[in-house]
Amino acid sequence: MVKGYRSEDRSNMYAQFEARQDLDFFLKGLSARALFNINRYSLLPVRRQIVPFFYTLAVTSDPNSYILNPINTDGTDYLDFVPSTKSLESTMYFEGAVSYNNVFAEKHTVSGLLVYTIRELLDGNTDNFQLSLPHRNLGLAGRLTYSYDSRYFLETNFGYNGSERFHSSQRWGFFPSAGAGWIISNEKFMEPVGGIISKLKLKATYGLVGNDAIGRDEDRFYYMSQLNMNDGGRGYDLGDDFGFHSNGISIQRYADPDITWEISRKSNYGLELNLWNSLEIQFDYFRERRSNILQERVSIPTTMGLQVTPRANIGKAKGSGFEMSVDYNKAFTTDLWIVARGNFTYAASKYDVFEEPDYTKVPWRFHVGQKLSQNFGYIAERLFIDDEEVLNSPLQTFGEYGAGDIKYKDINGDMSIDENDQVPVGFPTTPEIIYGFGISAGYKNFDISFFFQGSARSSFWINAGSTAPFIGNRAMLQYYGDSHWTEDNRDLYALWPRLSENAMPNNQVTSTWFMRDGSFLRLKTAEIGYTIPLNFVRKIKMQNVRLYISGNNLAVWAPFKMWDPEMGDNGLAYPLQRVFNFGINIEF
């Protein structure tokens, strides 16, 4: 057993100042407000522990004796200090706004809003120079709306945002949007069916959205070059016997003043329908076209002599989908009521432009037309039967392999399994379908509620590297123990290939062998409650008393059984917790 302790000292300071002013004396419906807040968070952990000594049992000729061979040399019999990650962050936010709202001739409603914002984030946890610099953004946003007789609606918005990441010539981006709506149910010709159709609304929006969070955060000042002033790989030796060594300088990034905002052009068309004041249905169809996606250039000739590959805003992608929600709210009697809700979202996207080599001879390697989070990998046929089959099969270029290891398909027929045999495999790693549904109901003093959530059309890959048995003193998972290839049991479709005390790169490349269906349905929450009758509660000077029992992550149904599919590729990570609660709510 590992013994020790861990303590944490947390502090969070939050200060906010806000002022509001009604400016009706200047213009009716005009007002102004200002907000300023600072948030500082710190975490100071202390961890001390004993590191056990581990041994293996050696085989001896005497059955009554044994020999222990030490595995590790870093064991301790005292509480040693273990460095832990500290956290220190400071955020500052300012917002100033002027708003206007007024009604003319009882039917014309006009409103406007102008907001100026400043954000700054300081991170004290990093040892990287660029990450230690403040993260800052400025923005000016506006909105203008008009409605006529609660039937016709128009809205225009704009954002004029500045980012520290880009050169002064590209720093500011202007992103407008517009929308329109029509509440058909408020028209006179809908009055005859008003008891059935409580609300019917059509709506449409179109606009531009800018994204400056592109690339790595450590690499955010693209308009500036970045040098490694102490590169051992670029060093040189001096002196009579070359006894003096000095590290050199290398380029990590070339300055590019043309890198700018990634832009999304989004459109949305929707319907809102309410029937009998109980059933609410909303449906939205959306489309998105992205441009200026930051990507590495691949068509750079070596004759240019560049040390690193430059990047540029060259990628393009598009996506579309729909989302729908259904809500039902009905009180049948004073003792019986029900609230039900369901939602469903489908979204898919693909590349239109992607910087990559000319794959004309191996067209299955093109990213254009593929999903944004599409994985490429090898087609695993089965495990090798024996070493003779290994010798008579196409050469696999992933290191040592033999009987019992994974056999891959030669896609291009050149008798060599290499990167040219990679094809799109599985669904995207991001689910294309997200859904959920739940019900809350009550009868007299009892109430019950539950909610399910799920996803579909996604794939993930078992991490063969982090779950491989016997690597780094790792034990064998029961699933691998029940299904693995051995000389005595040459199961060509076993879950795990032949066992080895060393990592086998051939069996760890991305392929269909460890690909799994990531879809699932989870009982996310459930609760049962009982409200004590009022005539009893008021006798003890209380307004309301409710007892309840609830639970989170209660059950999951999925094709994948080894571990919770929401954990993704590594089932050895900390699992999702099933939580039960019992409580009482008291109101005085």
Residue 364's pLDDT band (boundaries 50, 70, 90)? very high
Q: CA nearest 411: which of 394, 436, 428?
A: 394
3-class SS at 216? coil
**Backbone phi and psi for residue 550, each to the nearest 5 degrees, phi listed first:** -140, 165
Instruction: Give dist(CA 209, CA 159) in Å, integer.
Output: 8
312, 259 Cβ separation under 8 angstroms: yes
Secondary structure letter of residue 242 according to DSSP: S
Tell me what the mean pLDDT of segment 208-230 comes to.
Answer: 88
- From start to end of 239-278, where are the E strands? 244-253, 262-275
Instruction: Give dist(CA 422, CA 399) in Å, integer.
Output: 17
Copy the structure tokens of residue 248: 């050199």
Q: CA nearest 519: which of 430, 424, 579?
A: 430
List, for residues 22-53, the tens digit of each pLDDT value.
998 889 999 999 999 999 999 888 888 888 88
Copy the structure tokens of residue 477: 């998972």
C-alpha pair distances (Å), 265 with each of 51, 161, 522: 56, 16, 34
Report the pLDDT value the prediction gives residue 61, as an integer from 0 to 100.
76
3-class SS at 193? helix
Tell me what the mean pLDDT of segment 449-462 comes to.
Answer: 96
3 pLDDT exceeds 80? Answer: no
Tell me what the mean pLDDT of segment 448-475 comes to.
Answer: 91
Residue 588's pLDDT band (boundaries 50, 70, 90)? confident
Tell me what the mean pLDDT of segment 115-122 comes to.
Answer: 94
Report the pLDDT value the prediction gives residue 353, as an integer from 0 to 100.
95
Report the pLDDT value the prediction gives residue 144, as an integer from 0 to 100.
97
Residue 255's pLDDT band (boundaries 50, 70, 90)? very high
Residue for token digits 């991001």?
430
3-class SS at 539? helix
List, for residues 509-541, the tens digit of each pLDDT value.
999 999 999 999 999 999 999 998 888 878 777
Determine whether 371 is exposed, middle or buried from the number of CB atoms within 10 Å of its CB (0-12, 13-18, 19+).
buried
Secondary structure letter of residue 430 according to DSSP: S
Tell me what the mean pLDDT of segment 59-77 comes to.
Answer: 79
Task: Show me where the domains of the chain are located.
Answer: 126-353, 378-429+464-509
Kind plus residue range of the DSSP H or E element containing 172: strand 172-183
- From start to end of 212-256, where are the E strands? 226-238, 244-253
List, for residues 373-394, the tens digit of each pLDDT value.
999 999 999 999 999 999 999 9
Q: CA nearest 385: which of 478, 278, 493, 534?
A: 493
Average pLDDT score, the chain: 91
Q: C-alpha 584: how far from its chain's center? A: 35
Secondary structure letter of residue 371 according to DSSP: B
Half-sphere CA count of 362, side-chain side, radius 13 A: 16
Letter for the amino acid at 115? Answer: V
- Any alpha helices (H) in 91-200, and if so which ranges? 129-132
Tell me what the mean pLDDT of segment 65-93 comes to.
Answer: 83
Copy the structure tokens of residue 188: 């006179």
Report the pLDDT value the prediction gives residue 58, as an integer from 0 to 100.
78
Report the pLDDT value the prediction gives residue 127, as an integer from 0 to 100.
76
Instruction: Give dist(CA 428, CA 153) in Å, integer.
Output: 38
Kind plus residue range of the DSSP H or E element containing 388: helix 387-391
Residue 157's pLDDT band (boundaries 50, 70, 90)? very high
Report the pLDDT value the prediction gives residue 130, as an integer from 0 to 100.
79
Asked which of 176-190, 451-465, 562-576 is least confident by mean pLDDT, the reply is: 562-576
For 126-353, CATH number out of 1.10.3720.10, 2.40.170.20, 3.40.190.10, 3.50.50.60 equals 2.40.170.20
56 pLDDT exceeds 70? Answer: yes
Report the pLDDT value the prediction gives residue 307, as an integer from 0 to 100.
87
| CA dihedral (350, 352, 354, 356) positive or negative | positive
3-class SS at 226? strand
- From start to end of 354-505, where are the E strands? 375-377, 380-383, 395-396, 406-408, 416-417, 423-425, 433-443, 446-456, 459-461
Instruction: Give dist(CA 383, CA 390) in Å, integer.
Output: 10
| Maximum separation of any 2 CA atoms in the chain, in Å | 105
Percent of the chain with pLDDT over 90: 66
Phi-psi region of 151 (alpha: psi -120 to 50; beta: other; left: phi over 0): alpha
Tell me what the mean pLDDT of segment 269-290 comes to.
Answer: 96
Report the pLDDT value the prediction gives residue 154, as an integer from 0 to 100.
97
Report the pLDDT value the prediction gives residue 2, as an integer from 0 to 100.
54
DSSP 526-582: EEEEEEPPHHHHGGGT-SEEEEEEEEEEEEEE-S--SS-GGGTT-TTSPPPPPEEEE
Report the pLDDT value the prediction gives residue 173, as an integer from 0 to 100.
95
Q: Give the bridge partners for 347, in sequence order.
A: 321
Cβ neighbour number for residue 309 with a 10 Å cutoff? 11
272, 255 Cβ separation under 8 angstroms: no
Kind plus residue range of the DSSP H or E element containing 68: strand 67-70
Beta 172-183 vs 433-443: how paired, if at all?
A: unpaired
Instruction: Give dist(CA 160, CA 170) in Å, integer.
Output: 12
